[in-house]
Amino acid sequence: MRPKTKNAKNGKSQPRVHELRPLQKAATGIAGLDEITGGGLPRGRTSIVCGGPGCGKTMLGIEFLVRGALQFDEPGVLMAFEETPEDIAQNVASLGFDIEDLAARKKLYLDYISVEPSELQEAGDYDLEGLFLRLQSAVQAVGAKRVMFDTLEALFSGFSNPGILRSEFRRLFRWLKDQGLTAIITAERGEGTLTRQGLEEYVSDCVILLDHRIRDQISVRRMRIVKYRGTKHGADEYPFLIDERGMSVLPITALQLQHDVSDERVSSGVPDLDALLEGKGYFRGSTVLLSGTAGSGKTTLASSFAAETCRRGERCLYIAFEESPKQVARNMRSIGLDLDEWNRQGLLFCESWRPTQFGMEMHLLRIHKLIEQIQPRAVVIDPITNLIDSAANQKEVYSVLLRLIDTMKSRGVTAVFVSLTGGNEDLERTNVGISSLTDTWILLRDVELNGERNRCIYVLKARGMAHSNQLREFRLSSSGVELIPAYIGNGGVLTGSARLSQEAKEKADALTRQQEAERKQQQFARKRLALEAQVEVLQAELAEIEHEAKLAGVQERKREDELLLDRQRMAESRGSRQD
Amino acid sequence: MKTKTKPKAPKSSGEIIELRLYVAGQTPKSLAAISNLRKICGQDLKTRYHIEVIDLVKNPALARDHQIVAIPTLVRSLPVPIRKIIGDLSDTERVVVGLQIVEPKRA
């Protein structure tokens, strides 16, 4: 309907331009619920929360009121039909909600409405004006903006005239709407209908269904928004839990792979390992999988990373499923890591709980909550294989892991997952294909040779960087973790003492070759000297022959000269006689 | 000769019934309840009725204190146990049974 304004001039009404106003919402303050509903419950309307017994309907409603009063300055009214306010106050005291205090401060008004069928005889026509009067005075007493009815269905057991009840319900919801009150009514789940008494006929702006099942002896709580008029809402089932801080729902956050990525690198805590990763380490915000068999050194690497994170002054959350934090700290001391120190400085947060205590969804939710609380820059989960229910199917496990990784990535948290593989399985094939979800995969392998078992490590994959493909021997000492290049030769990869002996052998071989070469050199030198001596002798001979040849030549010429002279003389002597 | 037995004086019956009728303003149901109640009590001459009409519109806090949901509600506070009847009291028989009033005897 278009609202009309009266034009004063001619008395005719003019239609106002139709304004599009988005649906106003009343924030619940419950972690995750506001995300799924896109802001909270519809303001000024009534929502139904239905479910089986013990599923948390009352809890949700009360948390809505209490947080409304505490966080959003919206006082509330609780009209309770089943439990007295004292009982309710006691029930929620464990959540840290002090209802009586809120009532004293006039932030909350509690009214207990007793409807005893045995007391009431119906004689004639009636209505529920008494309820209305009480509600009215309650709202006025605290200036309430929120109301909760728990549970309105109790009226059905008290009053047997369905016609009267129906019309009074309509009147009630209309009244609530007119007053602009945001209301919640709780209802029992019906067999074929949403609610047993069909309350959704009267008010169905928003219907939330809560579910509580037992699967494999583990309790699993789910929530689903069945209906929410006028708003785009998450339509899936979301796991939720109720703990000492109230209710938390785990929404599926941006599974659109639109996270920001960082070019920054963080050290793994082991310089030799960084050397295998372009010398810089992991990408910040990436996920790293450390997998290997029992005793291969995974926890050591994970702890080194945690310590390194703290050394940089950043917070790290370490979740241990197999060892208690104290045990991990003690074990790491043997390689020179002091985890207790980081604990004391408030940088390292160790959380540990039994994996069999909860189902997968609950684990996920707890981790999510811890991350929200602590805001770490790095998270270590040791080992992640324990999170996986043996009973759950592949798809569910994948979904949980995906959500876990998504939680981390959307916050730019670097995650290290430790994965335990069985001894018989092919090491390079993990249970669920988690390896495809991680960015970096480092494998720890034991190599058995000559009666020894040595640890080896290599980087199987590292997205986005040129990682080394070489195997390294993994050694622990009191000064930390060392990676030694393994011997790679004709016999394959050798580690440990085999490597040492091979190295020694190589050294000896090298020495021998060197000596051989030297000897040969000396031989050549000697030979050369000998030959040079020979050459000298021959040269001397040659010089002599030349000399002789020269002499002979000189003599020959001399003779020739003399002969000539003789002839001349003879000729002269002859000549002179002739006269 | 017919002897008319005079209706016994209320004092001699020794029963006092305290009734409280909760109404909300001058609505038709409320007014009907008041008039019906007076009629029923008027028919019974043996017992003495002490009727109090409480208007919850004037005094809403009483609705909570006395746990009233439906209007009109008739509460018999004496003698104990307390009995409640809801409605405009047009169903006389129900009222009588519910209040456990002694049936008015015809003289």
Measured in angstroms, the CA of B59 and the nearest CA of chain A are apart by 10
φ, ψ of residue A277 in degrees (nearest 5): -110, 60
For residue A188, tell me if it sits in a domain: yes
Residue A432: pLDDT over 70: no
C-beta of residue A77 within 8 angstroms of C-beta of residue A147? yes
For residue A545, tell me if it sits in a domain: no
Residue A243: pLDDT over 50: yes
Closest partner residue to A126 (CB to CB) among B36, B64, B87 is B87
Round to whole Å and give the CA distance between A139 and A65. 13
**pLDDT, averaged across chain B:** 77
Among A486, A506, A521, the domain boundary falls at A486
Same domain, A474 and A422: yes
C-beta of residue A209 within 8 angstroms of C-beta of residue A36? no
Tokens encoding A20: 């599009």
Question: Residue A46: which of A196, A146, A150, A188 has the closest Cα?
Answer: A146
Round to whole Å and give the CA distance between A342 and A389. 32
Tokens encoding A267: 């050290």
Going by their DSSP bridges, the two strands A13-15 and A76-80 should be labelled as unpaired
A368 or A135: which leads in pLDDT: A135
Q: Region B48-55: what's the mean pLDDT? A: 87
- In degrees, rounded to 5, the angle at the alpha carbon of residue A103 between the alpha carbons of residues A99 and A104 is 120
**pLDDT, averaged across chain A:** 84
For residue A133, tell me if it sits in a domain: yes
Interface mutation vs chain A, best among B62, B86, B94, most A CBs within 10 Å = B86
Measured in angstroms, the CA of A103 and the nearest CA of chain B are apart by 16
Cα dist from A41 to A63, A228, A273, A536, whole Å: 13, 9, 51, 115
Measured in angstroms, the CA of B67 and the nearest CA of chain A are apart by 6
% residues pLDDT > 70 (chain A): 89
Same domain, A508 and A445: no
Q: Each residue of A533-568: pLDDT tens digit?
A: 999 999 999 999 999 999 999 999 999 999 999 999
Q: Each residue of A443-475: pLDDT tens digit?
A: 888 777 777 778 888 888 888 888 888 888 888
Measured in angstroms, the CA of B3 and the nearest CA of chain A are apart by 37
Same domain, A136 and A210: yes
Whether omega for the bond prior to residue A414 falls within 30 degrees of 0, making it cis, is no
Cα dist from A196 to A150, A193, B8, whole Å: 14, 6, 55
For residue A260, tell me if it sits in a domain: no
B103 or A517: which leads in pLDDT: A517
Q: Is A100 helix (H, G, I), strand (E, B) or coil?
A: helix
Same domain, A481 and A499: no
Angle, helices A325-333 vs A298-311, to 10°: value is 90
* Residue B24 touches chain A, beta carbons under 8 Å: yes
Same domain, A471 and A498: no
For residue A339, tell me if it sits in a domain: yes
The pLDDT of residue A390: 60
Asked if the Cβ–Cβ distance from B83 to A111 is below 8 Å, we say no
The pLDDT of residue B9: 40
C-beta of residue A102 within 8 angstroms of C-beta of residue A66? yes
Question: Residue A122: which of B64, B33, B60, B61 has the closest Cα?
Answer: B33
Which helix (H) or strand (E) is A522 found in, with range? helix A496-578
Phi-psi sector, B89: left (phi>0), alpha (psi -120 to 50), beta: left
The one-letter amino acid code at A324 reads S
Q: Region A385-413: what's the mean pLDDT? A: 77
Q: Each residue of A121-146: pLDDT tens digit?
A: 888 888 888 899 999 999 999 999 99
* Residue A130 touches chain B, beta carbons under 8 Å: yes
Same domain, A168 and A152: yes
Which helix (H) or strand (E) is B96 found in, with range? helix B92-99
C-beta of residue A99 within 8 angstroms of C-beta of residue A108? yes
DSSP A272-298: HHHHHTTTT-EETT-EEEEEESTTSSH
Q: In angstroms, how far is the first alpha carbon of chain A from the final one?
A: 179
Asked if the Cβ–Cβ distance from A137 to B56 is below 8 Å, we say no
Contacts of A261 (CB under 8 A, 6+ apart): A283, A285
The one-letter amino acid code at A4 reads K
Asked if the Cβ–Cβ distance from A134 to B70 is below 8 Å, we say no
The pLDDT of residue B6: 40
For residue A255, tell me if it sits in a domain: no
The pLDDT of residue B61: 87
Going by their DSSP bridges, the two strands A414-420 and A452-462 should be labelled as unpaired
The one-letter amino acid code at A475 reads R
Which helix (H) or strand (E) is A523 found in, with range? helix A496-578
Q: Region B36-64: what's the mean pLDDT? A: 84
The boundaries of the domain holding residue A414 are: 265-486
Phi-psi sector, B51: left (phi>0), alpha (psi -120 to 50), beta: beta
DSSP A478-511: TTEEEEEEPEEETTEEE-HHHHHHHHHHHHHHHH
* Residue B70 touches chain A, beta carbons under 8 Å: yes
Q: Is A383 exposed, middle or buried (0-12, 13-18, 19+ CB in 10 A)?
A: buried
Interface mutation vs chain A, best among B58, B67, B69, B76, most A CBs within 10 Å = B69
Q: Region A364-369: what's the mean pLDDT? A: 85
Same domain, A287 and A241: no
Same domain, A219 and A299: no
Closest partner residue to A133 (CB to CB) among B63, B85, B94 is B63
Same domain, A382 and A474: yes
**Facing residues of B76 across strands?**
B19, B83
The one-letter amino acid code at A217 reads Q
**Which chain B residues are within 8 Å of A130, Cβ to Cβ?**
22, 24, 56, 63, 68-71, 73
Cα dist from A572 to A282, A557, A560, A561, B74, whole Å: 120, 22, 18, 16, 198
Same domain, A223 and A75: yes
**Which chain A residues are within 8 Å of B55, Cβ to Cβ?**
none
Question: Residue A32: which of A264, A250, A339, A327 has the closest Cα?
Answer: A250
C-beta of residue B68 within 8 angstroms of C-beta of residue B82? no
Tell me which residues of chain A, numbers 54 to 113, contact chain B at a CB-CB cutoff of 8 Å.
Answer: 111, 113
- Count of all residues that appear for chain B in the document: 107
Report the range out of A47-51, A351-355, A454-458 with the highest average pLDDT.
A47-51
Count of the separate structural domains present in chain A: 3
Query: Residue A195 maps to which CATH number?
Result: 3.40.50.300
Residue A3: pLDDT over 70: no
Going by their DSSP bridges, the two strands A378-382 and A492-494 should be labelled as unpaired
Q: Each residue of B30-46: pLDDT tens digit?
A: 888 888 888 888 877 67
For residue A444, tell me if it sits in a domain: yes
Q: Is A399 exposed, middle or buried (0-12, 13-18, 19+ CB in 10 A)?
A: middle
The pLDDT of residue B107: 43
* Residue B32 touches chain A, beta carbons under 8 Å: yes
φ, ψ of residue A500 in degrees (nearest 5): -60, -45
* Residue B57 touches chain A, beta carbons under 8 Å: yes
The pLDDT of residue A428: 54
* Residue A127 touches chain B, beta carbons under 8 Å: yes
Asked if the Cβ–Cβ distance from B64 to A129 is below 8 Å, we say no
Measured in angstroms, the CA of A132 and the nearest CA of chain B are apart by 8
Question: Residue A101: which of A84, A118, A85 has the closest Cα?
Answer: A85
Among A486, A505, A526, the domain boundary falls at A486
**Facing residues of A472 across strands?**
A457, A485
Name the band, by pLDDT with cuts 50, 70 and 90, for residue B101.
low
C-beta of residue A350 within 8 angstroms of C-beta of residue A343? yes
Among A249, A279, A314, the domain boundary falls at A249
Closest partner residue to B89 (CB to CB) among A124, A128, A133 is A124
Same domain, A406 and A508: no
Round to whole Å and give the CA distance between A377 and A235. 31
CB atoms within 10 A of CB A578: 5
Query: Lowest-pLDDT range, A36-45, A90-99, A335-344, A484-493?
Result: A484-493
Cα dist from A324 to A269, A330, A352, A406, whole Å: 22, 10, 6, 27
Same domain, A98 and A142: yes
Residue A311: pLDDT over 50: yes
C-beta of residue B51 within 8 angstroms of C-beta of residue B41? yes
Round to whole Å and give the CA distance between A199 and A46. 11
Cα dist from A108 to A135, A165, A174, A247, A438, whole Å: 13, 27, 22, 19, 49
| Dihedral of the alpha carbons of B58, B60, B61, B63, in degrees to the nearest 10 | 120
Asked if the Cβ–Cβ distance from B84 to A129 is below 8 Å, we say no
C-beta of residue A182 within 8 angstroms of C-beta of residue A45? yes
Asked if the Cβ–Cβ distance from A128 to B64 is below 8 Å, we say no
For residue A187, tell me if it sits in a domain: yes
A485 or B107: which leads in pLDDT: A485
